Amino acid sequence: MSSHIGPCSLYSSLYVLAGIISSFVWNFAPLFFSPMCPIIDPTAPLTIKNRKVMPINIWLPINIAESPAYEIIFALESYTFSMSTLLYLSIDAFFFYLIHVISGQLKLVDASFKSLFILDERLKHEHATRLRQMSKLPDAGSLTVSKSVRLEDSLRQYRHHVLNRNLNSIVKIHATVLKVFSVIDLPKVFAELEFHVSSEI
C-alpha cells in the first residue's frame, strides 16, 4: 500500500501546487497588466482610474476604482478566490487518494486469492503427510477403517474451515471496496439527478 500512496501523494501535491500557482497568477496579474488592458470601457480615456481591474469582474454599488475601496475589495477577492481554489483542489486530491487506495485494495484482494490457492495446496500436502505418518505408526494396524475415515474427515474439515475463514476475510475486503466505489460514484449520481430535474422543469 505504501508503494501506492507514495506516487499519489506526489501527484496530489503537484496538482494542488499547480492550482495555487495558477490562482496566484490570476489574482495578481491585474496589478501588473491592468494599465495595458482597459476592461471597464475600451473607449474611455486612458487613465489609471478607468483601468483598475479586479481578479474577478463583479458589479458593486460603489466606485471600486478609488482607494481604499479598490485595495480592500481586491484583497477580499484574492483571498476568496485562493481559498476556493484550495478547497476544490483538495476535494480532487481526496478523490485521487481514494482511487489509489481502492486500487491498492483490489491488488490486496488479488494477492489474497493467490495466497488462498497456495494455502489450499499447503494444507492438502500437510493432510497427506499426516495420513502417511499415521499409517507408519506401530499400532497403525489396529486402526479400523472407520477411524481412518474419521481422521481423514476431520483433517478435511479443518482444511475447509481454514480456507472458509480466509475466503470470508477476502469477501469482506471486496465488500468494503465496493462500498467505496459507490461513494466515488455519488457525484455522477447527483449530476444525473440534477440533469433530469432541470430537463423536467
Q: Is residue 119 part of a domain?
A: yes
pLDDT at 184: 67
Cis, peptide link before residue 42, omega less than 30° from 0: no
How far is 19 from 34, CA to CA, in rounded Å? 22
Nearest to 70 by CA among 55, 80, 81: 55
Residue 2 lies in a domain: no
pLDDT tens digit string along 19-45? 888 888 888 877 776 654 444 445 544
pLDDT in tens, 155-200: 778 778 888 888 888 888 888 877 777 776 656 655 554 554 444 4
Residue 61 lies in a domain: yes
Query: Does the pLDDT at position 137 exceed 80?
Result: no
Q: Which residue has the higher pLDDT, 100 or 146?
A: 100
Query: What is the pLDDT confidence band of residue 134, given thresholds at 50, 70 and 90?
Result: low
Angle at 109 between CA 106 and CA 114, to 5 degrees: 130
Q: Above pLDDT 90, what percent of the chain?
A: 0
Predicted TM-score of the model (pTM): 0.53
Query: What SS3 state is found at 167?
Result: helix
Band of the pLDDT at 2, cuts 50, 70, 90?
Answer: low
Average pLDDT on 141-157 reads: 66
Question: Does some domain include residue 1?
Answer: no
State mean pLDDT over 131-144: 61
Q: What is the pLDDT of residue 116?
A: 80
Structural domain includes residue 112: yes
The identity of residue 162, as a single letter, is V
88: number of Cβ within 10 Å: 11
> Does residue 138 belong to any structural domain of this protein?
yes
Residue bearing the bigger pLDDT, 52 or 138? 52
Mean pLDDT of the chain: 73
Q: How many domains would you assign to the chain?
A: 1
Torsion of CA 56, 58, 61, 67, to 10 degrees: 20
Residue 117's domain spans which residues? Answer: 7-39+46-199
Higher-confidence residue: 197 or 18? 18
